Chain A
């Protein structure tokens, strides 16, 4: 069964750092495109970042320069390192496996999400 389990969320002060993890089972992270998507409380979905199977990474403008996506092939785990956190980064963070065809990508499945709260 394909499954994604996020961890690492919590309460962090503005300006702080946090690393989220997404443990995958049932497939190989390094052979797939993988994304992070977030959802602020009561708001819609916002795409955050993607890592391609070849290792290329891309980010939403709102997190570029502050967040870093990476993976550990030996642990079959995806990460999101978040630095210089702001109140507006408060959200549930989901990891998802990307499926792509014809230049378009979609997300399936998704993890259950982990809540990040940035507050003093």
Chain B
């Protein structure tokens, strides 16, 4: 089955840019989706189809995907962005969803 690899943690100072990576074999050929999950809450979609933002998600959130790495970029990081972030793809060969292990974003 397809495997997605995320760093366990990323730290960033307020106002700076955070980049969270998601690695996978030729992931650039797939569409990657990203979720934010705060403690005790359900996940929320923040990026879909590599770089599209759902309504209500700030423009500070952006995504890219190429080669073996997809990246979620959060600009001008705020304290409220502190959360776990998960990447996800759909494995159409097996009709299964696949999640990365998650990255804990800490705002210093």
A104 lies within 8 A of B45 (CB): no
B94 lies within 8 A of A105 (CB): no
A60 lies within 8 A of B96 (CB): yes
CA distance A112 to B44 in the complex (A): 11
B92 lies within 8 A of A104 (CB): yes
- A residues 69-120 touching B (CB-CB < 8 Å): 94, 99-113
Chain A nearest Cβ from B23, distance in angstroms: 15
A106 lies within 8 A of B44 (CB): no
User: Does chain A have a CB within 8 A of B42?
Assistant: yes
A45-B43, A50-B97, A58-B96 given; A108·B48 CB < 8 A:
yes
User: Does chain A have a CB within 8 A of B14?
Assistant: no
B102 lies within 8 A of A106 (CB): no
A44-B101, A45-B102 given; A103·B96 CB < 8 A:
no
Chain B nearest Cβ from A70, distance in angstroms: 17
What bracket does the count of chain A residues touching chain B fall in? 20 to 34
A47 lies within 8 A of B48 (CB): no
Q: Which residue of B lies closest to A111 (CB)?
A: B42
A106 lies within 8 A of B45 (CB): yes
Residues of A within 8 A of B84 (CB): 44
User: Does chain A have a CB within 8 A of B7?
Assistant: no
CA distance A105 to B43 in the complex (A): 16
Residues of B within 8 A of A110 (CB): 42-44
CA distance A7 to B45 in the complex (A): 22
CA distance A104 to B52 in the complex (A): 13
B43 lies within 8 A of A47 (CB): no
What are 17 of the A-B contact pairs (CB < 8 Å)?
A: A35-B97, A37-B97, A44-B99, A44-B100, A44-B102, A45-B86, A47-B96, A56-B95, A58-B95, A104-B33, A106-B90, A107-B33, A107-B45, A107-B88, A108-B45, A108-B48, A112-B42
**B residues lining the A interface (CB < 8 Å):** 1, 30-31, 33, 35, 37, 42-45, 48-49, 54, 84, 86, 88-90, 92, 94-102
